[in-house]
Structure 1
Amino acid sequence: MSRAVVVVAAGSGTRLGIGTAKAFVPVAGRLMLARALEPLFTLTEPTLVVVVAPADRLDECRQVVASVAGAAVRYTAVVPGGADRHASVQAGLAVLPDPVEVVLVHDAARCLTPAHQFERVFDAVATTGDGVVPALPVVDTVKRVADDVVLETVDRSTLVGVQTPQGFPLAALRSAYAGSSRSETDDAGVLQAAGLTVRHVAGDADAFKITTAWDLARAESIVRARTEPVPARVRIGLGVDVHAFDDAVRCRVGLLDFPGEPGLSGHSDGDAVAHAVCDALLSAGGLGDIGGRFGTADPRYAGATGDVFVRGAVDLLAEAGLVPESVTVQVVGNRPRIGARRGEMQDVLAAVVGAPVAVSGTTTDGLGFTGRGEGLAAIATAVVRPA
């Protein structure tokens, strides 16, 4: 067989706080190591599997491997790990036979990594001849700091979060490890330190690493969601938006233009109704808010119409496996009068949301900024459900 996977399972799991080697911690009733090994015995091509385990648990590890592999026993060995991950990987590489040309190094702590991620990395190494890592874009804002002082915001458009398995031509990785003068944070770092190229392919959200108790709970919830029938439950979200009037811009409310009425000020088109609907949808999906998702000062959204944000919220819900069920929005203000155009507004909003939208209007009897005619407010609720 020309390809292999080295599964590193020798970590102590100190940060997990369970008091045992991490790979032998149960995840929803099944050992983490067993879950990590399962996809390896479903790969399309024969693949050698080497497990690097704690020195005092080698027999237990062999039993786990045998229970997962069944009749398809294709692993070469269970070997003891070293003093750190660097040494453990070297121990795994050392026992691979000569026919192996491509090796993947995988952390057992990423026990929900799907089989297609292994195949994707294998294919990319075979195609490019370089090192390959799976990665996901960084979505959080990243800051560079010194002690407790924030120095600057780092451009996250060029950043990715790296996962495993990481794939390499075996000869190149062995040579890089043999010549390494210090430990790196991952195997790709060892290869790059030797002056070789590493590329990346798309990762998978399920390939996260179990490091803390929170990570373990997350993994268990994912497993149970896949294996236990759960009735579809709706989620409800709330959105509120307020904009002041601005005579210098056109009036756009609920995705409709109202000629002759004062417009609403804002970085985009100021459509308080559309923005409230967007926030309600995001709230229902637990996906944050319009400012966090689209940026209140992002130049890409300068003057953008409200449907851009509503469609964006619907797309984010779809990525989370959710779809809108219904939306209700109330417009609060003296003008523009929406009664005559309520049906039209409901139809155009529903077309973008992909679900029924009910619109109503009210005033505050002269009280507050809306009563004084200084601006417009909108309050929306959204109901979403699993797709």
Structure 2
Amino acid sequence: MKNIYAIIVAAGRGRRFGGDLPKQYCRLGDQAVLRKTACAFLSHPDVIGVRVIIHPDDLDLYRKAADGLDLLDPVFGGDTRQESVCRGLESLVDLEPRGVLIHDAARPFVTLDVIDRVIAHIETGVGVIPAVPVSDTLKREMQDGQCPETVDRTGLWRAQTPQGFVFDEIIQAHQRHRGQELTDDAALMEVDGRHIVLSLGHEDNFKITTPDDLHRAERMLQMDVEFRTGTGFDVHRFDQGDFVTLCGVQVPHTHALSGHSDADVALHALTDAIMGAIGAGDIGSHFPPSDAQWKGASSDRFLKKACDLVTERGGQIVNLDVTIICERPKIGPYREAMRQSVAEIANIDLDRVSVKGTTTEKLGFTGRGEGIAAQASASVKIY
């Protein structure tokens, strides 16, 4: 099934959570809970669009949390979760989705395999709920606090999200039962007599409801950080001209560098290093020289794209290091301007960027003054 969209419900006020800040905008590591949740769906290859449903009062919080993410424009929710979801579904009609995933913003640890299983069931034409079996002994409490009864847990499951549906069926169910307050989206389909199935969820896919849940999420995040390293290398020959562009900085020289774009050999190496760290191919696969639109293009666009890919995968650039190899021009006088340029393009702190210059002691093509080479490394933190 093609045309699968995701709706992330983030319009709630989180009254059980307490505090002045809705839980979906609380910090989880160095990002908002909502941002981590959104990145899980943005990184899934079968999800072609993600829309967040927000409270009208939270627009500034949303913009800060979602800055740089390739999300559809947000939609304002209603007074209830059910009304918020209905508005979100109606906002997708013109996009003609075949399937839709509906997910709680406060479940930031949803995994790709959970999403995979939900999508697989949607493709068979049924509604699906990810869930985990109840493993604890259940007791029924009486009004006086006594618990005289043990509840049979056979066949009991704890429902999670994303819940998945054929789009036309779920939006019609929402519109037919508008104004009712059912527990989740699957309950609407059950009222209509639709077939709902369970798929295996994950214990980590819990919902942040209380401050203790947020502390648990923070502990999980600390244990679930993965560091990756990528390397890049690029070469460009000299051509006629009076300056070279290195790290986005124009450096006066007796020659220019030849290339399909602006031939910024340093930014090209850095771009490949970042893409290598996240397994996203190389600069040529994203910006092929056979494509006329990249002729003469400024290479900061390439580096920015690589950084955006890291963000979409829920990651963060830890540091960037590039070594520029040439006899001339001298790199030292322009080093700080180059560092500043890279830091601004990548939107990272200056102390996370290193730019170095070296020679090959007049050996090889760089030693003969035929061109410039650059090698780079990138460290990326993935949550």
TM-score w.r.t. length of structure 1: 0.55
Letter in 1 for 2:196: V
Q: CA deviation at 1:60?
A: 3.8
What residue is the counterpart of 2:42 in the other structure? 41
Conserved 8 A contact 1:77-1:95: no
Name the structure 2 match of 1:204.
Answer: 202
Report the residue type matching 1:119 in the other structure: D
Distance 1:8 1:125 in 2: 19
Once the two structures are superposed, the pairs formed by residues 329-368 of structure 1 within 5 Å of their partners are: none
User: CA offset at residue 4 of structure 1?
Assistant: 0.5
1:349 paired residue number = none
1:217 aligned partner: 215
**Alpha-carbon offset, residue 32 of structure 1:** 0.5
Task: Name 2:190's counterpart in structure 1.
Answer: 192
Deviation at 1:62, TM superposition (A): 3.8
Assess if the C-alpha contact under 8 Å between 2:99 and 2:164 holds in 1: yes
Alignment match, 1:270: none
Aligned residue number for residue 8 of structure 1: 9
2:127 matched to 1:131? yes
Q: Which residue of 1 aligns with 2:72?
A: 76
Residues 46 and 6 from structure 1, CA distance in 2 versus in 1: closer, same or farther, beyond 3 angstroms?
Answer: closer
Question: How many Å apart are 1:154 and its aligned residue?
Answer: 1.8
User: Aligned letter for 1:183?
Assistant: E
Contact 1:2/1:99, CA 8 A, preserved across alignment: yes
Secondary structure of the residue that 2:123 maps to in structure 1?
helix
Q: Which residue of 2 aligns with 1:93?
A: 89
Aligned to 1:326: none
Deviation at 1:49, TM superposition (A): 0.8
Alignment partner, residue 167 of structure 1 = 164
Q: Quick one: distance in 2 between partners of 1:169 and 1:46?
A: 14
Contact 2:98 2:167 in 1 (8 A): yes
Amino acid corresponding to residue 135 of structure 2 in structure 1: V
Match of 2:105 in 1: 108
Residues of 2 paired with 1:13 and 1:175: CA distance? 28
Higher gyration radius (CA): 1
The answer to whether the Cα contact below 8 Å between 2:131 and 2:199 also exists between their aligned partners in 1 is yes
Q: Determine whether 1:50 maps to 2:51.
A: yes
CA deviation map 1:211-243 (0-9, x unaligned): 0111000000000112289xxxxxxxxxxxxxx
Helix, strand or coil at the partner of 1:14: coil
Q: Does the 8 A contact of 2:25 with 2:61 survive in 1? A: no
Superposition deviation, residue 46 in structure 1: 4.3
Structure 1, unpaired ranges of 5+: 230-387
Distance across 2 between alignment mates of 1:197 and 1:32: 32
SS class of match (2:147): strand
Q: Decide whether the 8 Å contact of 2:9 with 2:52 is kept in 1.
A: yes
Are the equivalent residues in 2 in contact too, given 1:6–1:106 (CA < 8 A)? yes
Residue 121 of structure 1: how far off its partner (Å)? 0.5
Q: Distance in 1 between matches of 2:91 and 2:99?
A: 14
Q: Which residue of 2 aligns with 1:25?
A: 26
Q: Which residue of 2 aligns with 1:177?
A: 174
Matches of 1:198 and 1:222, distance apart in 2: 31
Shift of 1:21: 1.6
Q: 2:139 matched to 1:143? A: yes
* Deviation per residue, 1:116-154 (Å, 9 max, x gap): 211210111112x11101000101111233313435322
Alignment correspondent of 2:337: none
Distance 2:96 2:81 in 1: 25
Q: Does the residue aligned with 2:204 lie in a helix, a strand or coil?
A: helix
For residues 360-383 of structure 1, the C-alpha deviation after alignment (integer angstroms, 9 at most, x for no partner) is xxxxxxxxxxxxxxxxxxxxxxxx
Distance in 2, Cα, partners of 1:225 & 1:98: 39
- Cα deviation for residue 169 of structure 1 reads 0.8
- Report the residue type matching 1:142 in the other structure: L
Deviation at 1:29, TM superposition (A): 2.4
Distance 2:60 2:4 in 1: 25
Question: How many residues are paired up?
Answer: 223
Could you give the per-residue CA deviations for residues 9-47 of structure 1, whole angstroms, max 9, x where no partner exists? 111122222311221111122100101011112112242
* Distance in 2 between residues matched to 1:5 and 1:66, nearest whole Å: 18
Whole-angstrom distance in 2 between the partners of 1:228 and 1:203: 22
- Pick 1 or 2: higher relative contact order, CA cutoff 8 A, min separation 6: 2
Counterpart residue identity of residue 86, structure 2: Q
Whole-Å separation in 1 of the counterparts to 2:34 and 2:142: 38
Query: What SS class does the counterpart of residue 100 from structure 2 fall into?
Result: strand
Contact (CA 8 Å) 2:6, 2:47: kept in 1 or not? no
Backbone CA RMSD of aligned residues: 1.8
The verdict on how the C-alpha distance between 1:197 and 1:228 changes in structure 2, with shifts beyond 3 A counting, is closer
Q: Distance in 2 between matches of 1:117 and 1:171?
A: 23
Aligned sequence identity (%): 34
Q: Secondary structure at the match of 1:207?
A: coil
**Please, which runs of 5 or more residues in structure 2 have no aligned partner?**
228-383
2: CA distance, partners of 1:38 / 1:197: 30
